[in-house]
Chain A
Amino acid sequence: MTQALAVVLVCAATVAVGALGLRLSRTTSDFYVASRMVSPRWNASAIGGEYLSAASFLGVAGLVLAAGTDMLWYPVGYTAGYLVLLVLVAAPLRRSGAYTLPDFAEIRTSSPAVRRAASVLVVGIGWLYLLPQFRGAGLTLRTVSGAPSWVGSTVVAVVVVASVAAGGMRSITLVQAFQYWLKLTAIAFPALLLLIAWGADGAPDPVTDRPPVAAETITFTLADPVRVQVDVPVTLTVDGTVDGAPARGELRLPAPGQLTFGAGTTIVVPAGAVVPRAENVPAGDGASWMAPTAADGADDHPVYRTYSLLLALLLGTMGLPHVIVRFYTNPDGRAARRTAAFVVGLLGVFYLFPPIYAALGRIYAPDLLLTGRTDAVVLLLPERMLPAPWGEAMSALVTAGAFAAFLSTASGLTVSVAGVLSQDLLRGRARASVTGFRAGSLIAVVVPAALSLLTVRVGLADTVGLAFAMAASTFCPLLVLGIWWRRLTAAGALAGLATGGLLAGTAVIVTLTGVDVPGIAGVLLAQPAAWTVPLAFAVTIGVSLATPRSAPANAQQVLVRLHAPERLALDPGTRPA
C-alpha cells in the first residue's frame, strides 16, 4: 500500500506542477524563453531528469540480469551519446535558433518538404520511445500491486495528457531538474542498503560456474503463459497448467527440455535448485553472463549486435525529439556545450547503480529468469532483501522513482510530439493553436498507449534501443551533415531521411511484431543501425552531390551562424555575406 501511495503522490505532484506551469507562464515568450537564463548545471539536471526513462530506471538492470555484461553497453551508449552530441551538435544547434528538429531541417535546407519529412519522423520516433514508458508503467503497477498491465499504462497516459494539456510547454526547468535528483536518490539509496544487506548475508558471489540457483525456496505465480527451457534437471512443485494440461504437485523436469506453464500457474522452486529459464532469456552460467560479447546460440553474432547497438546509441541521442528542445533553453552555444558536458557526468553517476540490482538479482531473484520479467528486478529486490520497515519503504522509493521516470520522459516526449503535430501535421483550425496543441497531445499519447497493450515481449531497453536506431538513421545524417558539410542540399536531406526512415522503420516493425526471421537477416533487423546509418549517410551525400541546384542559396550564411561565436554574429562587420 505504501507503494500505491508513492505512485499517487508522484502523479498528483506532476498534475499540480502542470497546472502551476499554466499560471506561471503568462506569455508565449515566457513559455519558450523564460528559462533561457538557466545555468548549465540546472539545465543539465533538467535534461537528466527528462532523459532517464523507464529504460534506464528499470530496463538496464533487467537486461543485465537477463543477458549479462553485454547489456552494460546500453548505459555506456546512453552516456557516450551525449559526448557525441556535445562535440558534433550542441553549440551549432543552439546557434541555429531551432526549437525543434523540423525547425532545424527548414533553417538549414529552406525546404518545407524536408521539414514535413522531419515532422513525420519526430512523431514516429516519439511514439516508439513512448511505447516502453507505458509498458514500464503497466509492469510497475502490476509488480507492486497486482493490478492488470493496462491500469498502469492508463494512469500514466491520463496524467501525462492532463499535465501537458493543462500546463502547455512544461518548460519549468526546476521541476525537471528535481526529477533527476529524485531518480538518482531512488536508485542509489536502496542500492546502497541492498549492498549492506548482501554483505551481511556473507556477500555470495553472483558469478558462479552454474546458472543461477534459488538461494531459498521461492514461490511465485505467473501472470502470463511462459515457455521455459530446462538446462539442468530440477524438481518443482506446481499448481496450474503445464503444456495445456492441468498439473498439481511435484514435477520432475529432465534436461534439456522445454515446456509451457499456463497463466496463473503457481510454482515453487526449492532452495538450491537451478532455476529453469524463460525461452527468451539467454542461458547464463557465470562465464557467459560475464562476457561482454556473449553468444546466445550459433547464429547470434554477438559482436555485430554490440557494434550496431553502440552505433545506434552514440548517434541516436542527438536525434531524440525531447532532447534537443532542452538545449534551446541555454542562453548561447557555449552554455549549450557546458550543459551537455554536465549531462555526461550526471548520467555517469546514475548508471553506476542499475548494474548493482542486476548482479544482486542473480542471487536473490532468479525466478525472474523463469518468468522472463527481469525488468521488475529493481522493484522486487528491496522487499526481498531488506528487513521489515526498510523493505517496504525502499520499495516505495523505487516505485516513486520509476513513476517519476515514466512521467517525466513521457511528458517531455508528448510535448515534443504534440508540438510537431499541431504545428506541422494537423490541418485547418487545429493548426498551431492551443486547441491544436491539446488535440496533438491526446493523439501523441493515445496511439502508443494503445500499442503498449498489444506488443509482444521486447524488453524495455530493447524497444528504446530501436528508437535510437531510428533516430540515428534519420536525424543524425541530417544534423551532422547539415552542421559540418556545406554542400548538403534539400534533395539530399530528403532522400537521406526517406532512406533511413524506411529501412530502420521496417526493421523496427518486424522486430516489434515478433516476426521470427531466421539467421543473419534476423540479427540485421533486430539491430539495424550498423547498416541503416551508413546507408542513410551515403544516400544523403550522394544525392546532395548529384543535385547541387537544390542547395539552399544561404548555405554559407547558415553555416557561419552555426559556427561563429554569438559575440561575433552581433558585430555589424560580420553580418553574413
Chain B
Amino acid sequence: MSAAVARPAPRPHAARDVDESTGVREVYLRSLLRVQRRLALGVLGVVALPLAAVPVLFALVPALSAYRVAGLPLPWLLLGVAVHPLLLAAAAWYVRRVERTEADFTDLLSGGDSHGHGGSRSDH
C-alpha cells in the first residue's frame, strides 16, 4: 500500500512540487485518501466476511452446533472466545499498516527524513 502512495512522483521532486503547486498536493492527498480507503475496506472485508458466514454456516449445517472442541461447543468457542483475539489482531494489523502509510506519505510531502522513516524510502 505504501508503494501506491509513492508511485505518483519520484522522491527528489516531491517536496518542491508541493511548495510550487497546491494542485499537485491535492493529487497526493487524493492518492492518500484512496490508499486509506482501500486499506479500510480491506480490513472490514477480511473481518466481516467470515463473521457473516457464521450464521449461514450454522443455519445450513445445524449439526455443527453440537460439535465440541476440548469440551467447549463449537459455537461458543467461535463466538465467545476465538472471535476476540481475531478482532484484536485485525485492529493491530490495521494500525501498523495505516501508520506506515501515513509516515511514508509525510516523508514524501515534507521531503525530510527527520522522523526515522527515511530508510524505507530507498525502496522506491
Tell me if chain B binds chain A: yes
B81 to chain A, nearest CB (A): 7
A79 with B84, Cβ < 8 A, contacts A207-B73, A303-B55 known: yes
| B3 at the binding interface (Cβ < 8 Å) | no
Beta-carbon nearest neighbor of A91 in chain B:
B98
Chain A: minimal CB distance from B59 (Å): 5
Q: A334-B99, A341-B95, A567-B110 are in contact. Are A87 and B43 (CB under 8 A)?
A: yes
* Contacting pair A87 B44 (CB below 8 A): yes
Contact of A76 with B51 at beta-carbon distance under 8 Å, contacts A348-B84, A565-B106 already known = yes
CB neighbours (8 Å) of B105 from chain A are 565, 568
The answer to whether residues A559 and B83 also contact, given A290-B66, A341-B95 and a CB cut-off of 8 A, is no
| A72-B84 CB under 8 A given contacts A291-B58, A344-B91 | no
Question: Does A37 interact with chain B (Cβ within 8 Å)?
Answer: no
Give per-residue flags for A283-320: 1 if the beta carbon is below 8 A from chain B beta carbons, else 0.
00001001111000000001100110010001000000
By beta carbon, the residue of chain B nearest A64 is B80
* Selected interface stretch from A133-141, A349-357, A437-445: A349-357
Q: Which residues of A contact B98 (CB under 8 A)?
A: 91, 337
> Does B75 contact A69, Cβ atoms closer than 8 Å?
yes
Interface size class of B (residues with CB under 8 A): 35 or more
Chain B CB within 8 A of A84 CB? yes
Residue of B nearest to A574 (CB): B25
For residue A567, which residues in chain B have a CB less than 8 angstroms away from its CB? Answer: 106, 110
Chain A: minimal CB distance from B110 (Å): 6
B70 contacts A by Cβ under 8 Å: no
Residues of B within 8 A of A494 (CB): none
Q: Which of A86, A338, A573 contacts B18 (CB 8 A)?
A: A573
In the complex, how many angstroms separate the beta carbon of B61 from the nearest chain A beta carbon? 11
Shortest Cβ distance from residue B14 to the other chain A in the assembled complex, whole angstroms: 11
- Given A302-B59, A563-B32, A577-B26, A290-B83 contact (CB < 8 Å): no
Cβ contacts A327-339/B at 8 Å (1 or 0 each): 0000000100110
Can you sample 20 A-B contacts with CB below 8 Å? A69-B65, A75-B80, A79-B87, A83-B47, A87-B40, A87-B44, A87-B94, A207-B73, A287-B65, A290-B66, A292-B79, A307-B52, A310-B51, A352-B81, A484-B33, A559-B33, A568-B110, A573-B19, A574-B18, A577-B25
Chain B residues engaging chain A, CB cutoff 8 angstroms = 18-19, 22-23, 25-26, 29, 32-33, 36-37, 39-40, 43-44, 47-48, 51-52, 54-56, 58-59, 62, 65-66, 73, 75-76, 78-81, 83-85, 87-88, 90-92, 94-95, 98-99, 102, 105-106, 109-110
